[in-house]
Amino acid sequence: MLVADVVNLNRYRKRAARDRAEQTAAERRLEFGRTKAQRELDAAAERLKAKSLDGHLRIREDDT
């Protein structure tokens, strides 16, 4: 007859929850994670695009 190892269920549940949380975090880092430099580069491109678009307006807001 074999003797099974005693398992603390609370530890098992906590470890499983941590593993699930880490897996979710890793997935989200891949999906949403960008470096600060990437965010700043995108923001600068948006500002440049808005400035270029505003420069092509026929009627300016301050003229009305």
- Residues 38, 45: Cα–Cα separation, whole Å: 11
**How do residues 43-61 score in pLDDT, each as one tens digit?**
999 999 988 887 777 775 6
At residue 64 the predicted structure's pLDDT band, cuts being 50, 70 and 90, is: low
Cα-to-chain-centroid distance, residue 1? 52
Q: How many residues does the chain have?
A: 64
Q: What is the dihedral of CA 43, 48, 49, 52, to 10 degrees?
A: 160
Residue 22 corresponds to which tokens in the numbers above?
Answer: 């880490």
- The reported pTM is 0.47
